[in-house]
């Protein structure tokens, strides 16, 4: 229904130009008839050229040439003697008439063509502007969905389609229903393939409400489609490239990991094997102190192996982005206490000072992961700090964050290493002098960053400190209030 | 319960089966093993054990489901075994009716302690009068008289603190998940408010523990819940 209405109005606007041309000429002719006795025939012919020029300029070549022919007739009929006939008796009149016809048609055509080329130039300019807008919008975008959305909006601006669908091969389709009318029941007016040298990337389908798609409009849409196809291809290539790069890096990482890990795993395994086989082979008697020593070595080394394997798992989880903290409101002192309880057996040689303010607010953290951070930072400190020195854990609320420091009186780290000690397998000292996978600190970094915090290391006057921050809000919200507690029963 | 408690071990790894069977048999238990979930459920139905040790990672079906299906018809205590990072699975299995858990690799003392606690709780459930007087170190918790004492000194608790402690203590030795405690003390609407627990456990530890920073009675099970340790 709607499209039929529009078609009619379009026809009216076209034919009305001719009606107006006729009316305009009739008006001018009437004026000239009144003034016929005052004006010379030649002058009238010249005066007739003015309305004709205007008609061509405003309404184009068709009405212009039509008007010229009509004027030729009216001029002959009303102003060439004998009046009110189309007969011509005098040779001069015949010449005037002939010249008038030639000039009128020529002017109309010239002015009309000028008008048409002006319109074409304006249209070209608009097209160029639109293309420019699209390509500059696309060049900034690397995301497929974003590209499709930009394209859809641009097409809509040009074509005023009733419905628009962009279908990407091997991906989801994007549709933009623009009018309430259900247009998908009929086939689309226009389907433009999105083609690149590497193949078909998708298709754009248009349902129009206006009668037809003009050839220049179609050409512009095709240009837009190929621009967008190029941008899509570029985005995909970039993705493939970065994926290839990641793969290459992870390959490299894997080989470092394997060499570091096999060394680390073999050490406790050797101990276990040696101890177990000597107990089994009765090399030491079961009730001697040596056997107790061996048994506890087996137990300790098994724990050590377990920690190593755990670190590897954590690291691979961080690497693959699978480490999602389950953030809940926790009390820092509870986490630290449970870490210290567990680590007591290793910390006998150092003095641990815990300074967590009583009024320290809740922190939104994953309990288990935060334990891991403290465990790793503490065991790193224990490993490097000389025995009988202090290790301190401090926490302070600072604005929107909580700042936690784990400091020790161990040797300082040269400034150029401070940043890199959180890298995987990075060691300040030679690998054979300390044990561990070289993963502990990078796991800390992964966990703290997954919580939205930051971690760094710094040299302090009498030693070395790890510092990390954690946000105090959980999804933008402060800790909840507790319900009222009935007093003593 | 017969003189020789019967334990069913459902685990697909032969080494673990061997180790558990050797140790438990040595300690006077009768041990049956199954390496698949389906087999385990069949064995449990044919010859009801006193306790089930269930690995969560079975080849044929999800251990959590085995747990839920066993709970449809039996109250036999279930101890689950799982990998280190399976907190989510452990909590799911505990909330679906498992009684306790052990993380692989585990020490044998730990396993025996869990087995003892689980057998005791199942005996209590079976009708013997539950203990109304619980001792932990120098603490006495009298559930009948709502009285908590350290030595001879009474410890004053608020209403919620008492309810919480009474619940923990009457399940002493067992792990209780956050959700389990929250639902029992605050009600189902507050099942997600772990922070309530964090606050009240801190208050309780301050009143009960000798060194609240190194608790001996109320232990945190990271990512899972709490466990009360009595004598």
pLDDT at B36: 92
pLDDT at A60: 78
Residue A489 has pLDDT above 50, yes or no: no
Enclosing domain of residue A53: 2-122
Q: Please tell me whether residues A333 and A467 are part of one structural domain.
A: yes
Q: Please tell me whether residues B10 and B46 are part of one structural domain.
A: yes
Decide the pairing of beta strands A463-471 and B133-136.
unpaired
Q: Is B114 part of a structural domain of the chain?
A: yes
Q: Where are the beta strands (DSSP E) in A169-270?
A: 173-177, 190-196, 199-207
CB atoms closer than 10 angstroms to residue B217: 21
Residue-wise pLDDT tens digits, A54-94: 888 888 778 888 888 888 888 888 888 888 888 888 888 88
Region of residue B151 (phi > 0: left; psi between -120 and 50: alpha; otherwise: beta):
left
Residue of A142, A48, A149 whose CA lies nearest to A99: A48
Q: Please tell me whether residues A206 and A232 are part of one structural domain.
A: yes
Q: Please tell me whether residues A389 and A293 are part of one structural domain.
A: no
Q: Which residues contact A188 (CB under 8 A, 6 or more apart)?
A: A165, A205, A206, A207
Residue that finishes a domain, picked among B96, B125, B154: B125
CA distance A35 to A43: 11
- A362 is written with which tokens? 């809740």
Q: Please tell me whether residues A229 and A251 are part of one structural domain.
A: no
Residue-wise pLDDT tens digits, A189-222: 778 888 887 778 888 888 776 667 777 778 888 8
- CATH number, domain containing residue B190: 1.10.10.10
Instruction: Give chain B positions within 8 Å (CB) of A482.
Output: 195-196, 199
Q: Is A481 part of a structural domain of the chain?
A: no
Q: Please tell me whether residues A358 and A294 are part of one structural domain.
A: no
**Of the candidates B161, B193, B222, which has its C-beta nearest A371's C-beta?**
B222
Helix axes A367-384, A332-343, angle to 10 degrees: 50
Interface of A with B (CB under 8 A): 299, 302, 306, 310, 313, 317, 326, 328-331, 333-334, 336-338, 340-341, 344, 354, 362, 366-368, 371, 479-480, 482-483, 485-489
CA distance A461 to A373: 24
Interchain pair B105, A306: CB under 8 A? yes
Q: Specify the DSSP class assigned to residue B217.
A: S
Distances (CA, A) of A171 to A48, A232, A235: 65, 12, 14
Interchain pair A488, B159: CB under 8 A? yes
Provide the CA A83 distance to its chain's centre, in angstroms: 78
pLDDT at A5: 57
CA distance A93 to A103: 15
Average pLDDT rounded to a whole number, residues A6-34: 80
Interchain pair A354, B85: CB under 8 A? no
CA-nearest residue of chain B to A358?
B202
From A487's Cα to the closest Cα of chain B, the distance in A is: 5
**ipTM, interface predicted TM-score of the complex:** 0.85
Enclosing domain of residue B157: 133-228
Question: Which has more confidence, A187 or A337?
Answer: A337
Interchain pair A337, B186: CB under 8 A? no
Q: Please tell me whether residues B39 and B110 are part of one structural domain.
A: yes
At residue B124's C-alpha, the angle toward residues B122 and B129, to 5°, is 170
Q: Is B58 part of a structural domain of the chain?
A: yes
Distances (CA, A) of A181 to A2, A128, A160, A206: 10, 32, 14, 14
Instruction: Give chain B positions within 8 Å (CB) of A302.
Output: 105
Question: Which of B213, B215, B221, B227 should one mutate to test binding to chain A, selecting the residue with the greatest count of A CBs within 10 A?
Answer: B213
CB of B231 closer than 8 Å to CB of B136:
yes
Residue that finishes a domain, picked among B78, B98, B125: B125
Q: Please tell me whether residues B54 and B88 are part of one structural domain.
A: yes
Q: Please tell me whether residues B120 and B137 are part of one structural domain.
A: no
pLDDT at A249: 81
Question: Which of A318, A356, A368, A443 should one mutate to test binding to chain B, selecting the residue with the greatest count of B CBs within 10 A?
Answer: A368
Q: Please tell me whether residues A368 and A305 are part of one structural domain.
A: no
Look at chain B and report how many structural domains it folds into: 2
Average pLDDT rounded to a whole number, residues A305-332: 85
pTM value is 0.63
Report which secondary-structure segment, H or E, holds B124: helix B108-125
Residue A178 — very low, low, confident or very high, per pLDDT cuts 50/70/90? low
Q: Please tell me whether residues B57 and B101 are part of one structural domain.
A: yes
Q: Please tell me whether residues A178 and A247 are part of one structural domain.
A: no
DSSP SS3 for A352: strand
Q: Is A134 part of a structural domain of the chain?
A: no
**Of the candidates B186, B213, B220, which has its C-beta nearest A354's C-beta?**
B213
Q: Is B191 part of a structural domain of the chain?
A: yes
Residue of B99, B7, B17, B1 whose CA lies nearest to B49: B7
Q: Is A478 part of a structural domain of the chain?
A: no
Beta bridge partners of A481: none
What are the pLDDT tens digits along chain B (231 aa)?
A: 457 899 999 999 899 899 999 999 999 999 999 999 999 999 999 999 999 999 998 888 888 999 999 999 998 999 999 876 778 888 999 998 899 999 888 888 889 999 999 998 888 777 666 678 899 999 999 988 889 999 889 999 998 999 999 999 989 889 999 999 999 999 998 888 888 899 899 999 999 998 888 888 999 998 899 999 988
The string of DSSP codes covering A89-144 is --HHHHHHHHHHHHHHHHHHHHHHHHHHHHHHHHHHHHHHHHHHHHHHHHHT---H
Q: Please tell me whether residues B195 and B164 are part of one structural domain.
A: yes
Residue A392 — very low, low, confident or very high, per pLDDT cuts 50/70/90? very high
Residue that finishes a domain, picked among B75, B98, B125: B125
**Of the candidates A362, A485, A488, which has its C-beta nearest B156's C-beta?**
A488
Q: Is A26 part of a structural domain of the chain?
A: yes
Residue A180 — very low, low, confident or very high, per pLDDT cuts 50/70/90? very low
Determine phi and psi for B80, rounding to 5 degrees.
-100, 150
- CATH number, domain containing residue A225: 3.30.450.40
Interchain pair B157, A337: CB under 8 A? no
Q: Please tell me whether residues A356 and A423 are part of one structural domain.
A: yes
Q: Is B1 part of a structural domain of the chain?
A: no
Q: Please tell me whether residues A271 and A236 are part of one structural domain.
A: no
Decide the pairing of beta strands A351-355 and A390-398.
parallel
Q: Please tell me whether residues A358 and A373 are part of one structural domain.
A: yes
**Mean pLDDT over all residues of chain A?**
82
Q: Which residues contact B63 (CB under 8 A, 6 or more apart)?
A: B10, B37, B54, B55, B56, B57, B80, B82, B89, B93
């Amino acid at each position: 229904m709607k499209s039929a209405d529009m078609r009619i109005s379009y026809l009216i606007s076209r034919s009305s130009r001719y009606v107006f041309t006729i009316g305009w000429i009739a008006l001018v002719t009437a004026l000239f008839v009144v003034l016929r006795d005052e004006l010379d025939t030649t002058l009238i012919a010249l005066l007739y050229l003015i309305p004709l020029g205007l008609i061509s300029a405003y309404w184009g070549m068709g009405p212009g040439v039509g008007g010229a022919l009509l004027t030729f007739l009216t001029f002959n009929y009303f102003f060439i003697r004998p009046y009110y006939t189309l007969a011509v008796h005098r040779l001069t009149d015949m010449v005037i008439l002939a010249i008038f016809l030639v000039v009128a048609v020529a002017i109309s055509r010239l002015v009309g063509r000028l008008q048409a080329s002006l319109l074409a130039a304006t249209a070209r300019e608009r097209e160029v502007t639109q293309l420019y807008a699209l390509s500059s919008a696309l060049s900034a975008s690397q995301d497929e969905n974003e590209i499709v959305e930009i394209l859809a909006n641009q097409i809509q601006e040009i074509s005023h389609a009733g419905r628009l669908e962009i279908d990407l091969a091997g991906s989801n389709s994007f549709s933009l229903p623009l009018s309430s009318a259900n247009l998908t029941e009929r086939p689309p007016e226009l389907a433009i393939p999105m083609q690149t040298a590497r193949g078909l990337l998708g298709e754009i389908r248009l349902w129009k409400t206006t009668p037809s798609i003009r050839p220049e409009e179609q050409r512009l849409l095709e240009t837009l489609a190929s621009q967008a196809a190029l941008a899509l291809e570029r985005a995909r290539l970039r993705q493939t490239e970065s994926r290839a790069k990641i793969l290459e890096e992870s390959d490299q990482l894997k080989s470092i990991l394997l060499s570091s890990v096999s060394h680390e795993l073999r050490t406790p395994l050797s101990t276990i094997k040696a101890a177990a086989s000597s107990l089994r082979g009765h090399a030491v008697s079961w009730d001697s102190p040596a056997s107790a020593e061996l048994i506890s070595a087996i137990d300790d080394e098994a724990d050590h192996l377990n920690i190593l394997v755990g670190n590897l798992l954590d690291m691979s989880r961080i690497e693959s982005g699978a480490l999602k903290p389950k953030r809940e409101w926790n009390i820092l002192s509870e986490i630290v206490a449970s870490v210290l309880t567990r680590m007591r057996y290793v910390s006998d040689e150092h003095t641990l000072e815990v300074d967590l303010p009583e009024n320290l607010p809740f922190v939104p953290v994953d309990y288990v992961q935060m334990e891991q951070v403290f465990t790793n930072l503490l065991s790193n400190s224990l490993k490097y700090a000389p025995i009988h020195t202090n290790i301190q854990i401090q926490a302070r609320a600072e604005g929107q964050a909580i700042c936690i420091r784990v400091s020790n009186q161990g040797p300082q780290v040269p400034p150029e290493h401070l940043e890199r000690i959180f890298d995987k397998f990075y060691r300040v000292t030679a690998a054979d002098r300390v044990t561990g996978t070289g993963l502990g600190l990078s796991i800390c970094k992964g966990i703290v960053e997954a919580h939205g915090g930051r971690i760094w290391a710094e040299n302090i006057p009498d030693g070395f400190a790890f510092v990390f921050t954690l946000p105090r809000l959980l999804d933008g919200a402060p800790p909840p209030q507790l319900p009222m507690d009935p007093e003593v029963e | 319960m017969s003189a020789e408690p019967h334990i069913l071990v459902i685990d697909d790894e032969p080494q673990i089966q061997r180790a558990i069977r050797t140790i438990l048999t040595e300690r006077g238990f009768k041990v049956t093993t199954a390496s698949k979930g389906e087999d385990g459920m069949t064995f449990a139905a044919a010859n009801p054990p006193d306790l089930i040790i269930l690995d969560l990672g079975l080849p044929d079906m999800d251990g959590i489901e085995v747990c839920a299906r066993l709970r449809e018809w039996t109250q036999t205590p279930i101890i689950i075994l799982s990998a280190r990072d399976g907190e989510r699975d452990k909590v799911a299995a505990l909330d679906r009716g498992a009684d306790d858990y052990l993380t692989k690799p585990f020490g044998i003392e730990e396993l025996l302690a869990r087995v003892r606690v689980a057998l005791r709780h199942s005996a209590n459930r079976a009708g013997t009068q539950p203990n109304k007087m619980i001792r932990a170190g120098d603490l006495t918790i009298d559930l009948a008289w709502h009285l908590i004492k350290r030595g001879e000194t009474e410890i004053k608790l608020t209403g919620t603190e008492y309810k919480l402690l009474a619940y923990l203590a009457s399940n002493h030795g067992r792990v209780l998940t956050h959700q389990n405690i929250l639902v029992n003390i605050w009600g189902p609407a507050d099942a997600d408010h772990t922070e309530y627990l964090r606050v009240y456990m801190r208050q309780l530890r301050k009143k009960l523990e000798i060194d609240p920073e190194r608790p001996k009675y109320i232990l945190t099970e990271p990512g899972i819940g709490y466990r009360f340790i009595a004598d």
